[in-house]
Structure formats: structure tokens, C-alpha cells
A and B are shown apart, each in its own frame.
Chain A
């Protein structure tokens, strides 16, 4: 199976700051997703992005499949953005392999 690595593991931001989270994967993927896990454990879908760029409000994501990485951009961060961000991918079936996550804390 594929290996997924995320960086940085921890990130502290002041409210209003921008940030970039990175996800590297070891092999080609045909399903790359970004999730936000809230403090109650709910995994919330942010993006399905096996390639290209997508934007949703203050969040955007870019996947460069040929170079095996994906980036999640958070602009004008808010305290409600705090939590853990996971990327996950697979190359067959629905077996997602998750990275270790980036733990984000946004301070007011």
C-alpha cells in the first residue's frame, strides 16, 4: 500500500494568519482527500482532489499527482479552524491510507 506523510505535525497560528499544510504520498493515487477532524472526532470532508486545484471559501487545495504531493491552504485563519487535518489516499478500492495529521491551533 501507499505511504502518506504530512507536515508539519503541529502548527500554531494567530487568528488571521495564512498557512500551508503538505501531504506527500509514496505512489500514485486515484483518490486523494483532505479531512478536518473536529475536537469531537468527526471527520469532515474538505476536498476530494486526486489532481489539480480546488477552492472552497478560505480553503483551497492543490495536488500535483506526478510529483506525489498535495497542499492545503488556509487563508485568514479563524479559531474554528483548529483541529487536526488529515490527508488520505488510495490506489485501489476504498482502503484509504491516512497520514499522521497536522494539529492546528488558531489563537484569538
Chain B
């Protein structure tokens, strides 16, 4: 079975631009969470979606938004990019909203210049 997939793998953007990152969960998983990992730190929670509804939001500005589609895939959008948004963005899936363990994708490495 395929694991969590994310696209693109790498991305370079300029300050002020917009970016969309995509995630497909493990088959049968209905919950998707997004995390940001800045170099040298642990991942930080951004959003959780379950059954297309937002179930949790971390301490991130409104420039960050996300949505989940009927097939349970998800997009993370970031507007007005800042240099500090450069990070590895990780998507995790789990069967339900409060599940025994989450499974992470390979991540999208975003560089903002």
C-alpha cells in the first residue's frame, strides 16, 4: 500500500508570492495534519482536517490556510511568503481525528528567497 504522498518535493519561491502544497493520505485514512519544520527544530503543528472540516489550528498567521477534499487529500496554502516560511512542510495522516499514531509523508522543502 502507498504511504502518504506529498508534492512537490522541492519548491523555490520569492518573497510575497503564494504557494500551494499537496498531500494524499494513506488509503482509508480520513484525517490529515500539516506541520512546519524549520531547520534544526522539531515539527510544529499547523492544521488538522478530518472529514473536510478543520479540527485544529496551531499558532500560525492567517496567511496559512488549508482545505481537505472529498477524497481526503489536502492542500496547504501560504500567501505573501516571507523568508521565515522557508522550511520542510510535512503532512501526516491517520484513520480518525484522535488516532493511535500518525504517519508522515516525505515532506515538501520550501525555500523563499
Q: Which residues of B contact A72 (CB under 8 A)?
A: none
- Contacting residues of chain B (67-113) with chain A, CB-CB under 8 angstroms: 88, 90, 92, 94, 97-104, 106-107, 109
Interface size on A, residues (CB 8 A): 23
Q: Would you call the interface of chain B mostly helix, strand, loop, or mixed?
A: strand
Cβ of B33 and Cβ of A95 under 8 Å apart?
yes
Q: Give chain B's interface residue range (CB within 8 Å of chain A).
A: 20 to 34
Given contacts A41-B107, A95-B58, whether A101 and B42 have CB atoms under 8 Å apart is: yes
Cβ of B42 and Cβ of A100 under 8 Å apart?
yes
Given contacts A33-B101, A48-B100, whether A96 and B106 have CB atoms under 8 Å apart is: no
Q: Which residues of B contact A48 (CB under 8 A)?
A: 100-101
Cβ of B41 and Cβ of A100 under 8 Å apart?
yes
Contact with B along A4-33 (1 / 0, CB 8 A): 100000000000000000000000001101
